[in-house]
Amino acid sequence: MRSNSFCAGGTFLGNGTLINVGGNPVVEDHTAAADFGDLDGLQAIRMLEPCDSEDVDDCDMYEDHARIRMASPRWYSTVLRISDGSAMIIGGSTKGGWINNATTNNPTVEYFPPKNIDDSNGLPVHLPFLVDTLNSNLFPIAFSLPDGTVFIAANSDAMIYNWRTNTERRLPGIPNGVRVTYPMTGTGLLLPLSPSNKYTPEILLCGGSTIDDTKPGYEISSQDPASAQCSRLVLDDNGIAAGWQVEQMPQARTMPDAVLLPTGEVLIVNGAGTGISGYGNVLNQVGESNADNPVLTPVLYNPSAPSGQRFSSDGMPTSDIPRLYHSVATLTPSGKVMIAGSNPNLDRSELKYGTEYRVEWLSPPYMSKARPQISEEVPPIGWSEQVTISVTLPLVGKRADIRVALMDLGYVTHAVHANSRLVYLTALLSEDKQKLTITGPPNGNVYPPGPGWLYVVVDGVPSVGLKVMVGNGKSPARDEAALQNLLKTTDVDQYEEAKTNGKNDGAE
């Protein structure tokens, strides 16, 4: 990788290529041993084609800003795979920093490969929503919806964006003024989609903060309470009319991570009980951390349990490792959840809330049970296509609940679990209980084409996930004129150029 990718976003594309997008400017003051790359990363698009070779040079990362880049600089933007297998790149700031403001805001979306939407011809498309949601609007929470539109939450607002027509449908505000995006960081998920409820989408947002986002850092404290609120909204006309359903987590959290499990439950981990994201900005910093009172016990949330009985920490281990700013958690193919990170510091630090290198593996209760198995590779699955796979199931009764979960494990950063997705597939077990015939998702709206992981879940116990390619495996369509227009009319490394010309103070 040639440029500074610290705090980038990313996604797999429809053909299985991973892109890593944006990041930081060149860091000029070397504060410690760490180094960050010599090129401005704000407009970078880096590509990696995963490969099985033993030689790392065979699957090197490709980066050449003269040929492949964004039209505009973006720090803390969200990258989302959409229904045609391309990537939507949402919002961000035009330079590194902390809380966003009107002079640094990049209130636009652009695409990779570039598109011509509303005569944009490869250039960024303006989104009024990202102006109206200043200041706390970085790393928007976004999910591709089963009708091909995109849900976006930023600050204490939400909308549905039709990217094909460039139209916004504003949704009711998040109740009680809770802000959910950086630096008042909450987290969000699209709850599992299933054929039995006609893939009706429902959004879950948890944690964040009600601190006034127009206050300067010196009026905010690391001891200001975070929000315990989770808010759910069903995204059809009835659901939107009914509004957000509010419930309370057992503990308040800013910077939580919400991880979808193949069982349909949500694991909530990480984060702090007080303060906000970032470092070195607020009163009563702990070391450099803007947040304090780490929350150390994970909680399981069962979206389909009756209201009031959805949260439980029964049997959950309590960690002694604070996971604050720059922490992550993700489901892995084994079924365990990998928990890592935390660095609320300018650089590597050994002060309190120092740089955390330890990784933890959380085993949900199903890990200790007899597990089903998928016994051979899973072939690629096309839209509504039937595929038969061999399975080894533990003793299953007549009434066994057998489900097949197609999952995107997402691209996790800064509590944003972009691309996280669970789609239950129709599955039919053979008479001899050794074959499962599954039907692929109906189209790329329900599951944007690209790689996924398939888990067979029997009575709430999932198999190990097997990798599967969904869709036709082809590269997303490329609009050559839009790409050429982007390369011709925009400069490489606009932020660095603005700094040299004195148009920018260069502060980070």
Q: What is the Cα–Cα distance from 297 to 208, expressed in whole angstroms?
A: 17
Shortest distance, position 347 Cβ to Cu ion, whole Å: 13
Shortest distance, position 294 Cβ to Cu ion, whole Å: 18
Q: Quick one: tokens of 282?
A: 């607020």
Stretch that binds Cu ion, among 3-11, 54-62, 331-339, 371-379 (CB under 5 A): 3-11
Shortest distance, position 95 Cβ to Cu ion, whole Å: 13
Shortest distance, position 494 Cβ to Cu ion, whole Å: 21
Cα-to-chain-centroid distance, residue 140: 9
By rule CB under 5 A, what string of x and - marks binding of each residue 107-126 to Cu ion? --------------------
Q: How many CA atoms lie within 13 A of 460 on its CB side?
A: 7
Sign of the torsion angle spanned by Cα atoms 111, 113, 119, 120 = positive
Shortest distance, position 414 Cβ to Cu ion, whole Å: 6
Give the strands of the sheet with 435-439, arranged side by side.
373-374, 386-392, 435-439, 427-429
Identify the three-state secondary structure at position 482: helix
Residues near Cu ion (CB under 5 A), total: 1
Shortest distance, position 139 Cβ to Cu ion, whole Å: 9
Nearest residue to 99 via CA among 248, 254, 212, 256? 212
Shortest Cβ contact with Cu ion: which residue? 7
Stretch that binds Cu ion, among 6-14, 159-167, 181-189, 249-257 (CB under 5 A): 6-14
Shortest distance, position 335 Cβ to Cu ion, whole Å: 29
Cα-to-chain-centroid distance, residue 214: 26
What are residue 79's DSSP bridge partners? Answer: 89
Shortest distance, position 76 Cβ to Cu ion, whole Å: 7
- The Cβ of residue 481 has, within 10 Å, a number of other Cβ atoms equal to 11
Let me know how long the chain is. 508
Closer residue to Cu ion in complex, CB, 7/45: 7
Sign of the torsion angle spanned by Cα atoms 39, 18, 117, 414 = negative
Nearest residue to 183 via CA among 127, 224, 149, 240? 224
Closer residue to Cu ion in complex, CB, 257/479: 257
Long-range contacts of the stretch 427-432 (C-beta < 8 A, 24+): 427/402, 427/403, 427/456, 429/393, 429/402
Of residues 7 through 26, those in contact with Cu ion by CB under 5 A are 7
Identify the three-state secondary structure at position 496: helix
Closer residue to Cu ion in complex, CB, 7/13: 7
Closer residue to Cu ion in complex, CB, 79/230: 79
Closer residue to Cu ion in complex, CB, 249/328: 328
Closer residue to Cu ion in complex, CB, 77/221: 77
Closer residue to Cu ion in complex, CB, 7/405: 7
Query: Applying CB under 5 A, does 260 fall inside the site for Cu ion?
Result: no
Q: What is the Cα–Cα distance from 132 to 126, expressed in whole angstroms?
A: 12
Stretch that binds Cu ion, among 5-13, 40-48, 175-183, 465-473 (CB under 5 A): 5-13
Closer residue to Cu ion in complex, CB, 7/418: 7
Q: List interacting residues with Cu ion (CB under 5 A).
A: 7
